[in-house]
Amino acid sequence: MSRMLTHGIALDKLLIGIIAVSVASTAIWNYQIRNSEIWVNPLLDSQAEERIKFALDDIKYHMILAGYDYGDKDKNYAVVSGHKSDIIMIRHGGVNVEYRVDENDNLVRRTESVDKVIAENINSIRSLHTGKNAVALTISRAPYRHERDNEIETMSKSYSIIVELDNLL
């Protein structure tokens, strides 16, 4: 019996060895992760897309309200074309709403002199008359840019919506 104890490994020494190896491997893994490239959070891209979809729905909502306002139809919807982006101005029920891209690349909604950022990282907002009573609105944004040279880089993404109203234009 004493011969078996002298040739075997004690259980506590085996457990200490396993713990030491796991601590060392965890430290090495964390070092590699922290010093490697930052991993992209896929939720950030989907949140940005949701904000742009909300912005398009918000513009459409105000355009629909402007279409029901039978006052000065020519003043209910106006677009100031810019080099980089348009400024879209909508008026309905005595409320003035303006959409523009500011110098920090944020899509800003101005309602009665109160600015609110509704989307970030926006390149431009454009309005195009596609017919007598139809307008195509397009928001373009610059997505996450990759740091490695060998990755395919998306330069921009565009999101569009077409609004058709009989009384808008």
- What is the residue-averaged pLDDT of the chain? 80
Strands 157-164 and 107-111, how do they pair? unpaired
For every one of its 169 residues, what pLDDT tens digit does the chain have, with 9 covering 90 and above?
455 555 667 888 888 899 999 999 888 887 776 665 445 555 556 788 889 999 999 999 988 888 776 655 667 888 898 888 999 998 888 889 999 999 988 999 999 889 999 988 888 999 988 887 888 999 998 765 555 566 666 677 888 998 887 665 5
Q: What's residue 8's pLDDT?
A: 67
The alpha-carbon radius of gyration of the chain (Å, integer) is: 29
Q: What's residue 41's pLDDT?
A: 53
Q: What's residue 112's pLDDT?
A: 84
Provide the whole-model pTM.
0.66
HEC letters along the chain: CHHHHHHCCCHHHHHHHHHHHHHHHHHHHHHHHHHCCCCCCHHHHHHHHHHHHHHHHHHHHHHHHHHHCCCCHHHHEEEECCCCCCEEEEEECCEEEEEEECCCCCEEEEECCEEEEEECCEEEEEEEEEECCEEEEEEEECCCCCCCCCCCCCCCEEEEEEEECCCCC
Q: What's residue 154's pLDDT?
A: 62
Q: What is the pLDDT of residues 126-158, one digit of tens each?
A: 998 888 788 899 999 876 555 556 666 667 788
Q: What's residue 31's pLDDT?
A: 74
CB 90 within 8 A of CB 117: no
Q: What's residue 42's pLDDT?
A: 56
User: Which percentage of the chain shows pLDDT scores above 70?
Assistant: 75
